[in-house]
Amino acid sequence: MSVRLLLSCGEASGDLYAGALTRELKSLAPDIQIAGLGGPTFAAAGGEVLVDYRGLSVTGFTEIVARIPQLRGAQQRLLAHARAHRPDALVVIDYFGFNGRLARDVHALGIPVVYYISPQVWAWRPGRIKLIKAVTERVLVIFPFEEAVYRQADVPVQFVGHPLVDLVHAHPPRAEFLARLGLDPSAPVVGMLPGSRTSELRRILPTLADAAQRVRARVPGVQFVFARAPHLDDRLFGPAHALAGAAIVEGEPDAVLAASDVVLTASGTATVQAALHDRPMVVVYRVSPLEYRIGRRFVKVDTFAMVNLIAGRRIVPELIQDDFTAEAVADEAVSMLTDPTRTAQIRQGLAEVRAKLGGPGASRRAAQAILAIAEKR
């Protein structure tokens, strides 16, 4: 009888990881059946999407409150599927606000739970580790320092490495890519990654576009390439469309990063992608003032950017909330474009980050660990 898995991920990065994991699971067990909460990448890899995460993706407390009915409905649909089909395991990927409750309820049915890409309990709301310990058969972590955190709490844990190491896709040569966009390959390029959610774009992109105008005034000939997530409304990119010497590229973040000299990026998975491409970056983020005041109380660390957290020190500048101004972003970008000594120092730090991400094969190692648990049933 074939292995059956229920999987749950949220957000674009979770869907990316779910797709890579599903491909490896199907390579190891061709008859495996995988269904759950996911998106287009999960579906393209052969997963059955019971609920599309794109209808649930939220940022911050106020958005969560507005989406509670849909979130609860999605949880109930996945739980009903678990009751009806009795999967051999539930695999949850990050997204603790949703997946924590789902993991608890599915565990109560006697179904093993594997947490892949666990919440950042070392940085944010450490109390979550109690629930993880109570309901999970195994936690699969992607950063080496996370393993010690979970072992100290007596949680079964395995470091598998970061899946993005394998997911940095081949990209066209810089000259070819920029020529296709009508840009000059010999001129400096700033890559712009403003986020993948509607709320992020509204709060981040206009300031980045303003910063780009200021950079252009100080660095002659500079060009800008915006990476656009596929499902976003084109109207959100109005400030980018109005920017001379700029292009918008949909669905090719690796090509944008590879062609850039400097990157301006929203905090999140994109910072790790930029590090894998060895690109100096300025990390920015902004939420509503209320969300920031509430959330800051739960944060244990004094830095937000994932590359800085991995490095254990601030190797790239991060401009968060009130510090995120067009002038501050422009100052940092101009410095990186014009000061080779500074960019060399940043690249040295990024090399340390890459060394900590583990070697290739993270998704396959995760798949092997999941199958070992599922096949015990």
Least confident of 162-166, 196-200, 222-226, 339-343: 196-200
Given a contact cutoff of 8 angstroms between Cβ atoms, the answer to whether 51 and 77 are in contact is yes
Mean pLDDT estimate for the chain:
91
- Region 39-59: mean pLDDT is 88
Q: Domains of the chain: which residue ranges?
A: 4-161+361-374, 174-356
Q: How many helices (H) and strands (E) does the chain have?
A: 18, 13
| pLDDT (tens digit per residue) in 262-319 | 999 999 889 999 999 999 999 999 987 766 666 665 555 567 899 998 898 999 999 9
Given a contact cutoff of 8 angstroms between Cβ atoms, the answer to whether 16 and 254 are in contact is no
Q: φ, ψ for residue 93 (rounded to 5)?
A: -120, 110
CATH topology of domain 4-161+361-374: Rossmann fold (3.40.50)
Residues with Cβ within 8 Å of residue 169, at least 6 apart in sequence: 254
pLDDT exceeds cutoff 80 at 169:
no
Given a contact cutoff of 8 angstroms between Cβ atoms, the answer to whether 7 and 34 are in contact is yes
- Region 154-174: mean pLDDT is 91
User: Whole-angstrom Cα distance, residue 243 to residue 262?
Assistant: 18
User: Does 174-356 match 4-161+361-374 at the fold level?
Assistant: yes
Q: What is the pLDDT of residue 232?
A: 85
The HSE-up count of residue 359 (CA atoms within 13 Å, CB side) is: 1
Please provide the DSSP assignment of 207-256 as one string: HHHHHHHHHHHHSTT-EEEEEE-TTS-GGGGHHHHTSTTEEEEES-HHHH
- Region 324-343: mean pLDDT is 98
- Token pair 């320092």: residue: 145
Confidence tier at 48 by pLDDT (50, 70, 90) = very high
According to CATH, what is the number of the domain 174-356?
3.40.50.2000
Confidence tier at 67 by pLDDT (50, 70, 90) = confident
Given a contact cutoff of 8 angstroms between Cβ atoms, the answer to whether 75 and 98 are in contact is yes
The structure's pTM equals: 0.85
Confidence tier at 199 by pLDDT (50, 70, 90) = confident
Of 339, 343, 360, 362, the C-alpha closest to 351 is 343
Of 300, 294, 257, the C-alpha closest to 279 is 257
Q: What is the pLDDT of residue 120?
A: 77
Given a contact cutoff of 8 angstroms between Cβ atoms, the answer to whether 271 and 283 are in contact is yes
| pLDDT (tens digit per residue) in 106-156 | 999 999 999 999 887 665 667 789 999 999 999 999 988 889 989 999 999
